[in-house]
Structure 1
Amino acid sequence: MSELLDPTNDYVFKRLFAEAPDLLVDLINDLRPDLPDIASVEIINPNIEPTELTGKYIILDVLARDGKGNCYNIEVQVRRYGAWHKRGLFYLARTLGSQLSAGEDYQELRASVGLHLLDFDLFTETAAEREQAIWRFEMRDERQPKISLGNVLQMNLIELNKADRLGLPEGPLRAWITFFKHWQEELTMANVAHEPVKRAMSRIRELSADEETRRLAFVRERALRDEVSFLNDAKREGLQEGEQLGIEKNKRETAHNLLKLGVLNDEQIAEVTGLAVDEIAKLRIEDKH
């Protein structure tokens, strides 16, 4: 048996749920138990374009609509970047706004729900943040959070690592967390009784046995690694440039101080600071002005 594919690879994640709407229904119901259960969904974006596998900054999400018209954006994210929340809010708001055509009644608006599985710790600044892994954001008043504008715009975040580490109460949500974090551990998964997670494991085995699926999953994984490497290289180059600018600034400040002393000539100051003689000459003119 081939090594099982990682369900947090967003290509595998989309194949896993977009091709099995009934399994996606179970996932949605288990991740948002505060809302009434749904019976079925229509997958709005079932296809995966080849360019999406290698495109920079693309996240392969699953867009679905239930029988009442409520829309869901479900995705898994394995890397943290600065504007992730703005991106999520943008697409959530766009999904809400695209429901109505010109002239339609706002009363017809249905919920736009984001379900984001994060394979990294997001909120870590305070002790309280470090002890919470399940988050739901809605439009609520700052001083009286019980006063809400409703849940038509709702973003749900689950920090997988933190949820696994904290240990959630037994139930469907804990079973899904176990799946996403321990899918490779046969004994651990054998103890999971939640039927939808069992079906998810069966689908992972099916996908993992297909050579073309494995190849495309690797293409996606490589693209994500390349993206991370590119960003890290850019950060390192930025730091190096900043350090170099700092060095140049120090050289110029030293040259200015030596010019004020009036003891050394331009050649001597150039030798001390490492600047070119013509640069020293320019600094001397600047100082006179």
Structure 2
Amino acid sequence: MHTLLNPTNDYVFKRLFVEAPELLVALINDLRPDLPDITAVEILNPNIEPSDLAGKYIILDVLARDANGHCYNVEVQVRRYGAWNKRGLFYLARTLGGQLQAGEDYQELRASIGLHLLDFDLFTATKTERQQAIWRFEMRDETQPQVTLGNIFQLNLIELNKADRLGLPPGPLRTWITFFKHWQEELTMTAITHEPVIQAMNRLRALSADEEARRQAFVRERALHDEVSFLNEAKREGRQEGRDQAREEVARNLLTMNLLTDEQIATAAGLTEATVKALRDASR
């Protein structure tokens, strides 16, 4: 029996929900239960190109439109990077702005809604932030938040790890969190009764038995690991460069005193004699 693929792998996530639009409808409805349910969606970006899988900085999202013309950008993110929020807002704004053709009435503008599942903790600075896992950002007044420009531009975030730790009230959203965090735990998943999540598990099992899907998921996972390794290596190189600069600054200060030999300065600063000599020659 094949090990189940990880549904938070964005390739697997996209395959699960693009190939079963009815599951995407259920997911959207369950992630935003206070808004009217939708009944069907059109997938606007169903294809996954080979270059997308190896593209370390590409996020495989699902872009869909419901019968009323409202657009949904649904994605899962497994890694945190500095500009993720700007990227999310940029593409959401582009989705909003791209709805109208030249000369069309602004009244025809429909909502653009981002639904991002984050497989990491994002807001952790304060106790209240650490106790909240579901976030909605809209256009509201700062001093009177009840005054709003409407929910036509809306970004929803769900921190999966935090939601799992905090324990949401029983209901469809909680079962989706269980799916994304505990898909490998057979006893846990067999206790699920929410039909869309049961269907998602069945699709995940079928996808996991597909050798080509497993290969593509591995290619995607490797690309994401390569990105993390690249970023960590850049950080390590930056730290090493900073240490080298600090050592050279110590050596320069000792050289200005003109009290020690190059060998003594090299020992004190942690540099080679050749480096100290080069610094001495450069200061002349």
Shared fold per TM-score greater than 0.5: yes
Q: Paired residue for 2:60?
A: 60
Correspondence 1:101-140 to 2 at 5 A: 101-140=101-140
2:270 paired residue number: none
Fraction of identical pairs, as percent: 72
Equivalent position amino acid for 1:48 in 2: I
Match of 2:46 in 1: 46
1:273 is aligned to: 265
Where does residue 36 of structure 1 map in the other structure? 36
| One-letter amino acid of the structure 2 residue matched with residue 114 of structure 1 | G
Question: Which structure would you say has the larger Rg?
Answer: 1
- 1:219 aligned partner: 219
The one-character-per-residue Cα deviations of 1:44-86 (angstroms, maximum 9, x if unpaired) are 0000000000012111000000000000000000000010000
Write the mapping of 1:55-204 to structure 2, written as runs, cut at 5 A: 55-204=55-204
**Paired residue secondary structure (2:201):** helix
Sort the Cα spacing of 1:148 and 1:281 in 2 relative to 1 into closer, same or farther, 3 A.
Answer: same
- Would you say the 8 A contact 1:269–1:280 is kept in 2? no
Shift of 1:250: 1.2
Structure-2 residue corresponding to 1:242:
242
Provide closer, same or farther for how the CA distance between residues 107 and 250 of structure 1 changes in structure 2, counting only shifts above 3 A. Answer: same
Q: Secondary structure at the match of 1:143?
A: coil
CA–CA distance in structure 2, aligned partners of residues 241 and 279 of structure 1: 16
Residue-by-residue CA offset, 1:139-164 (whole Å, 9 max, x unaligned): 11111111111111000000000000
Superposition RMSD in Å: 1.2
Do 1:112 and 1:153's aligned partners in 2 also have CA atoms closer than 8 Å? yes
Give the letter aligned to residue 263 of structure 2: E
TM-aligned CA deviation for residue 269 of structure 1: 3.8
Instruction: State how far apart, in whole Å, the 2-side matches of 1:163 and 1:117 are.
Output: 11
Q: Which amino acid aligns with 1:110?
A: R
Asked whether the equivalents of residues 11 and 217 of structure 1 are also in contact (C-alpha less than 8 Å), the reply is yes
Give the residue type in structure 2 aligned to 1:200.
Answer: A
Name the amino acid aligned to 1:115: L
In structure 1, the gaps of 5 or more residues are none
**141-150 or 170-179: bigger deviation:** 141-150
**What TM-score results when the alignment is normalised by the length of structure 2?**
0.95
In the alignment of these two chains, the number of paired residues is: 276
TM-score, length of structure 1 as denominator length = 0.93
Q: Answer whether contact 1:55 1:223 (CA < 8 A) is retained.
A: yes
